[in-house]
Chain A
Amino acid sequence: MRILLVDDEVEFIETLAERLVLRDIAAEWTADVDQALEMARQKKYDVAVLDVKMPKLNGIQLKRKLQEIQPAMKFLFLTGHGSDEDYRSGSSEAGSDNYLAKPLDIETLIKIIKKIMD
């Protein structure tokens, strides 16, 4: 299982990737949406974990572009939304139940990724 992590908060996504790798999950990260698209052109990823709010392209727009490159790719969204109201509006915007609020619990993240893969 290979995971692509995309978030413009470099120190967050880099550390999250390192922690996933320590748990034997092949995770690669980028803070740049253009590079994310390039990575998807070069390599197959099973799941993409995307921040919803990013400059240039938001997570939902990036999802659409990644799907064009890899139609079988599954998605999980992350958000720094501050409240339940924010969370609900974000999850409806993402059109997805696969939605996690920051700060994350890494074990919950892994559980959801595995569920998506199943």
Chain B
Amino acid sequence: METILSTSGEAGLVFMGQMNASISHEIKNTLAIIKENAGLLEDLTTMAQQGRAPLDPEKIKGLAQRIAKQIKRADVLANNMNRLAHSVDAPVAQVEVNEALDFMLQITDRLSAYRGAVVTCKSCREKIQLTTCPFLFNHLIWMFLSQAIEWSGDDKKIEVSVCRTPHGVRIDFAGSRQNRIPESCKDLSFQHQQLLESLGAEFQPHGPGGGFSIVIKPLTEGRNRPVK
């Protein structure tokens, strides 16, 4: 039985793989920090046992705090990985858009940074509920954020914001020097078009240098049923 999730196809798998690799890479980094700090604790205690240098309680405390901080960081990363994995649990669900956007920007922060981009989020104060496919929504955010980074020039500063519209939500991707944005949806890649269509979303360029918006309508009950 096919549902809306099936429309994500190969591109959805690639997205999931990319996120998984990035988060596990970051978990490895936290483990590396924990290992070095634990190693340094061992080095210092061994030196103290051998009478080569006295133990400095402040130093020991600082190293223990660093380890605790990294454990907390790894816990957040593991939770994010788990949350992303569970985004495929239901084909259609209620999503709080601000929170979902924050989540996606958080898990893709490092990927954006590796591409030299600085991404900021201007959250809306009011809670915006949207009935949508959580997994495809996450994929859409990354696909267009990634595209916004590519379209921006050397100065890769992207501001993402969200607002309610009469028929759904609008997510704006603003940034300086985004001057390679296509004039219409037709000029986007097939994958972009397919994802927009699956979610009932629309691509709206703002004109030269002005960024673009994605307008997403809520999925109806009918869309919740199998596509075929």
**Which residues of A come within 8 Å of B, CB atoms?**
9, 11-12, 15-16, 18-19, 22, 53-56, 58, 80-83, 86, 101-104, 106
Instruction: Known A22-B47, A80-B32; judge A15-B37 contact (CB<8 A).
Output: yes
Of B20-28, B97-105, B200-208, B218-226, the one with at least 4 CB within 8 A of chain A: B20-28
Name which residue of chain B comes closest to A10, CB basis: B33
A103 to B35, CA, bound (A): 7
Interface residues of B in 20-46 (CB under 8 A from A): 21, 24-29, 31-37, 39-40, 43
Instruction: Known A11-B66, A102-B29; judge A53-B35 contact (CB<8 A).
Output: no
Say whether A102 contacts B43, CB under 8 Å: no
Say whether B24 contacts A12, CB under 8 Å: no
Say whether A12 contacts B33, CB under 8 Å: yes
Say whether A15 contacts B33, CB under 8 Å: yes
**Which residues of B come within 8 Å of A, CB atoms?**
21, 24-29, 31-37, 39-40, 43, 47, 66, 70, 113-114, 116
Which A residues are CB-close (under 8 A) to B26? 80
Which A residues are CB-close (under 8 A) to B25? 53, 80-82, 86
Say whether B32 contacts A9, CB under 8 Å: yes
Name 8 A/B residue pairs within 8 A (Cβ), A-sorted.
A9-B33, A12-B29, A55-B114, A80-B29, A82-B24, A82-B27, A86-B25, A102-B31
Say whether B40 contacts A11, CB under 8 Å: no
Chain B interface, >50% SS class: helix
Say whether A82 contacts B70, CB under 8 Å: no
Say whether B36 contacts A12, CB under 8 Å: yes
Which B residues are CB-close (under 8 A) to A86? 21, 25
Which A residues are CB-close (under 8 A) to B70? 11
Within the complex, the shortest CB–CB distance from B67 to chain A, in Å, comes to 10
Name which residue of chain A comes closest to B69, CB basis: A11
Say whether A102 contacts B28, CB under 8 Å: yes
Within the complex, the shortest CB–CB distance from A51 to chain B, in Å, comes to 9
Which A residues are CB-close (under 8 A) to B34? 103
Which B residues are CB-close (under 8 A) to A54? 114
Instruction: Known A82-B28, A102-B31; judge A15-B40 contact (CB<8 A).
Output: yes
Name which residue of chain A comes closest to B47, CB basis: A22
Instruction: Known A19-B39, A55-B113, A55-B116; judge A102-B32 contact (CB<8 A).
Output: yes
Say whether B32 contacts A12, CB under 8 Å: yes
A5 to B21, CA, bound (A): 24
Which A residues are CB-close (under 8 A) to B36? 11-12, 15-16, 19, 103-104, 106
A9 to B70, CA, bound (A): 11
B21 contact from A9, A22, A55, A82, Cβ within 8 A: A82
A111 to B29, CA, bound (A): 22
Name which residue of chain A comes closest to B24, CB basis: A82
Name which residue of chain B comes closest to A106, CB basis: B39
Instruction: Known A12-B33, A58-B114; judge A103-B28 contact (CB<8 A).
Output: yes
Which A residues are CB-close (under 8 A) to B113? 55
A106 to B46, CA, bound (A): 15
